[in-house]
Amino acid sequence: MGTFIAKRLVRLVGTLLAVSFLTFLLVNLLPGDAINALIPIDAQQDREFVEQIREEWGLNDPMLVRYGRWLGDAVQGDFGDSIVTSRTVSSEIFHRLPVTAELMLVTVGLSVMLAIPLGVMAAYREGTRLDQVISGIAQVFLSIPGFVAGLLFIYVFAMKLGWLPATGWNRLSNGLLDNLRTVILPALSLALIEIAVYTRVVRSDVMNTLQEDFVLSARAKGLSDRYILFRHCLRPSSLTLITVVGLNIGTLLGGTVVVEFLFAMPGLGKRLLDAIFQRDFMMIQGITVFVATIYVLVNTAVDLIYMLVDPRIRKAD
Amino acid sequence: MPLFTRLCLGWLVAIVFGAIFADLIPGLQDPNYQGFLFGTSATNEPPSLTHLLGTDNNSRDILARIVYGARVSLVVSMTAVIMGTVCGGFLGALVGFVRGKTDAMIMASVDVILAFPGLVLLLTVVTLLGRRDLLVIATVVGFLSIPPYTRVARATALAVSRREFVMAARAIGTRKRTILIREILPNCLPTLMAFALVNAAVIILLEGALAFLGLSVQPPTASWGNMINAARVDLRINVWPAVWPSLALVFTVYSLNVVGDHIRRSKAVRSAAL
């Protein structure tokens, strides 16, 4: 088990290095000179001034040297300065992260809470009308992207009914209720696809578990169906769910960009978009690496949790 | 095939034909013609005989823009599917069959690309390229589609390599290259095709999101995503210009999923019967 963890951690470091290098490569090799973002084009007539700025920002060094310097700073939590606002990239990330983190937590929590009962019920009533209805709804949800769902919710709940604000964000420090009022619609928009995916996973897993001998023996003992479903079946069936949640974090992180844009939320995704529109290379680089790092970390954590929960995998190594 | 699946397939066929032959459809208007400039139509018109789905906030015909917008979805998803199956499929089948160092190296790079959340990587690459015509978008999306297909093809090739007919071919001394082309690749293809349908749906959603952010093909070129984005600001005045492209997008993705599921299920039945 120790070697397994060690191997996994070595791979993690390798992946993170590769991810950061690829991002650096992308940002630096592709057309578009960072100098254009630093100095307006018409001010670039002054060659001496341009050279001075280039020297100051270290743009003249070979790429590997710049990567090394950037990486050295990055592992200490310094992603450089935004070339537009001249605030540090890490302070911007730190400032924006809670919004995105809350959005994702609420989305995943909401989805799991809805998907487990739906999936279990569909599996229990496999082939019946109820199963067909649940699976049908999941199929529809799977086809509704966050921005379509978001617009629909804004139209119905904000414009027509006036129950919730259409855009904006209330920090948690402004009170829990006010905060929840601004997070619920964005989270729900993202949740539709997640609910569909999780429901399908839970359904097929519980269906498989229901075939197992221990379920039969529990039935023979006369335990109630509800007890068997939630006590005996759910735990072995939840492993795949954990993995799928982990894998889907990637799509979800992408989804937060769109939803934060639509609902004008001051999150990480919105900041990335702003950086993209301003061509703020340092910021794009920092946020991209940060987001990819989170994604890689989550998936490593899922692998490790998987191993802790399921003893068979521990032995296999 | 159940009636409902047929209906979905019918919708997909209609979308594909509409996108390809948009110029030849009789009575379909120019998607970029702004009637209010010439006094022939107004902005945000309700559906009428001249504009079956009404006009948008630039007085352009919504139906025409949806039909032409299908082109973007079609070109991008087809490029992704073709580049994915051809490059990713071949690469995955190759490394799944030969294993060893090549396998480790290729899969390590695949893992790195898949370590980025799809939309975030796409956003970054598209921005840094600085050009946003259909060719660039389709190529970038196509290139980023190679890793997932590689993974699927490799997993299938690993399983296929252990089958009796591959062992038999090895035993009679068939050259490795011939085994790869004659035995491994054809047997990976059905799985890849089933994956391609589901992946096409994912790609259409991805391009839709990109367009919705205003980072896919540049307006006035119509795409479903940028139509929804353009209609977003006038949602309070007129909701229909947002509804129609949303429905087109959702129906298309839904149909792809339904047809994909059907194929996967019938394929599972076939392989179980073997």
Whether A214 has a pLDDT exceeding 50, the answer reads yes
Domain ranges of chain B: 3-266
Contacts of A272 in chain B (CB under 8 A): 120, 123
Could you tell me if B104 lies within 8 Å of chain A, comparing CB atoms?
no
Average pLDDT (B246-261) is 92
ipTM: 0.86
Most confident of A113-117, A302-306, B237-241: A113-117
pLDDT given at position A141: 94
Reported CATH class of domain A95-316: mainly alpha
Tens digit of each residue's pLDDT (9 = 90 or more) over B40-98: 777 777 787 777 787 877 778 888 889 999 999 999 999 999 999 999 999 999 999 98
Whether A114 has a pLDDT exceeding 90, the answer reads: yes
Say whether residue B115 is in contact with chain A using an 8 A CB cutoff.
yes
Q: Round to whole Å and give the CA distance between A279 and A271.
A: 12
Alpha carbon A186 to its chain's center: 14
Query: What are the domain boundaries of chain A?
Result: 2-75, 95-316
What is B3-266's CATH topology? MetI-like fold (1.10.3720)
pLDDT band at B153 (very low <50, low <70, confident <90, very high): very high
- Across the range B9-15, mean pLDDT stands at 93
Restricting to B residues 252-271, those with a Cβ less than 8 Å away from any Cβ of A are 253-254, 257-258, 261
Asked if residue A316 has pLDDT above 60, the reply is no
Q: What is the mean pLDDT of residues A249-264?
A: 89
Q: What is the pLDDT of residues B207-225, one digit of tens each?
A: 999 999 988 888 888 899 9
Q: For B159-180, how does the pLDDT look when each residue is reduced to its tens digit (9 = 90+)?
A: 888 888 988 998 998 898 899 9
Q: Is residue A292 within 8 Å of B117, Cβ to Cβ?
A: yes
Q: Do A151 and B127 touch (CB under 8 A)?
A: no
Instruction: Reduce the secondary structure of A220-250 to three states and give it as a string.
Output: HCCCCHHHHHHHHHHHHHHHHHHHHHHHHHH
Q: How many angstroms separate the CA of residue A87 from the nearest CA in chain B?
A: 21
Q: How confident is the model at residue B272 (pLDDT cuts 50, 70, 90)?
A: very low
Read off the pTM: 0.87
Specify the pLDDT at position B217.
Answer: 87
Q: What is the pLDDT of residue B32?
A: 76
Angle A199-A183-A81 from CA coordinates, rounded to 5°:
110
Q: What is the pLDDT of residue A140?
A: 93
Nearest by Cα to B120 from B210, B205, B224, B212: B210
Out of B116, B127, B253, closest to residue A19 by CB: B116
State CA A154 to chain mean position distance: 22
